[in-house]
């Protein structure tokens, strides 16, 4: 009998045909090679996938772009964070003149920045904002809470701007804050 070792975790991929040829060329015995060859082919096909492709048979070197429309359904459930992220992605589906008065859609950069910012904000356990789109393409977050009314916007230029006023009349305002800067803790606390 011929011993054939198949190592599916090996970094070197060996074609099943090569394994069969080695088994047949082995001079020790050729009796019963046909069932062995069939077994090797079926086992190798299952245990040793082509290392140059993914599970969906897409070459690993092929760039795959996920569009907003394709990923909307990936956010399941009624969790507030998923609803908010889904809303941002829905804004990415708006086209030119979406309001019938010449409004422009948000840029993909604005969508990305708004989503990333919101994700980092929601992990700080805040109330999710109302999310809308302005006619100039700005993605807006609006909080209307007992203690504050606060508006924050993204154009996709790696900055955000905000204006808010709390119940005591204190105003909070900044323009063109770097997207990598988080909101001051003093403001975040008003959203909890």
- The full set of domains in the chain, from first to last, is 1-64 (no CATH), 68-191 (3.90.1150)
Query: Considering all CA atoms of the chain, what is the largest pairwise distance in Å, rounded to the nearest integer?
Result: 93
From residue 153, alpha-carbon distances to 38, 48, 77 in Å are 63, 50, 26
The mean per-residue pLDDT over the stretch 85-92 comes to 95
pLDDT digit string, tens, across residues 139-182: 999 999 998 999 999 999 999 999 999 999 999 999 999 999 99
Average pLDDT over residues 45-67: 44
Query: Over 90: is that where the pLDDT of 185 sits?
Result: yes
DSSP structure string for the chain: -------TT-SS---HHHHHHHHHH-TT--TTHHHHHHHHHHHHHHHS--TTB-TTS-BTTS-----HHHHGGGS-SS-HHHHHHHHHHHHTT--TTTTSSS--PPPHHHHHHHHHHHHHHHTT--PPPEEEE-TTS-EEEEEE-SSEEEEEEE-SSSEEEEEEEETTS-EEEEEEEETTSPPPHHHHGGG-
More confident residue, 8 or 75: 75
Task: Write the pLDDT tens digit of every residue in 112-134.
Answer: 999 999 999 988 889 999 999 99
Euclidean distance between the first and final Cα of the chain, in Å? 72
The reported pLDDT for the residue numbered 113 is: 96
Q: What is the pLDDT of residue 114?
A: 96
The residue with greater pLDDT, 25 or 147, is 147
| pLDDT tens digits, 40-53 | 444 444 444 444 44
What pLDDT shows up at residue 54?
A: 47
pLDDT at position 97: 95
Of the ranges 30-44, 50-64, 104-118, which is most confident? 104-118
What is the pLDDT, as a whole number, of residue 70? 47
- Half-sphere CA count of 83, side-chain side, radius 13 A: 9
């Amino acid at each position: 009998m011929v011993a054939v070792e198949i190592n599916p975790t090996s970094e070197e991929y060996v074609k099943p045909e090569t394994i069969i040829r080695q088994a047949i060329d082995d001079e020790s015995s050729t009796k019963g090679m046909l069932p062995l060859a069939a077994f090797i082919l079926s086992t190798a096909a299952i245990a040793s996938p082509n290392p140059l492709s993914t599970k969906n048979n897409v070459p690993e070197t092929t760039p795959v772009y996920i569009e907003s429309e394709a990923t909307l359904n990936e956010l399941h459930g009624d969790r507030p964070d998923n609803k908010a992220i889904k809303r941002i992605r829905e804004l990415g589906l708006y086209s030119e003149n979406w309001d019938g008065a010449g409004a422009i859609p948000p840029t993909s950069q604005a969508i990305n920045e708004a989503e990333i910012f919101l994700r980092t904000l929601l992990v700080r356990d805040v109330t999710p904002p109302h999310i809308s789109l302005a006619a100039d393409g700005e993605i807006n977050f609006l909080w209307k809470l007992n203690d504050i009314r606060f508006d924050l916007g993204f154009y996709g230029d790696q900055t955000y701007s905000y204006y808010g006023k709390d119940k005591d009349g204190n105003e909070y305002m900044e323009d063109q804050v770097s997207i990598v800067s988080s909101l001051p803790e003093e403001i975040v606390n008003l959203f909890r």
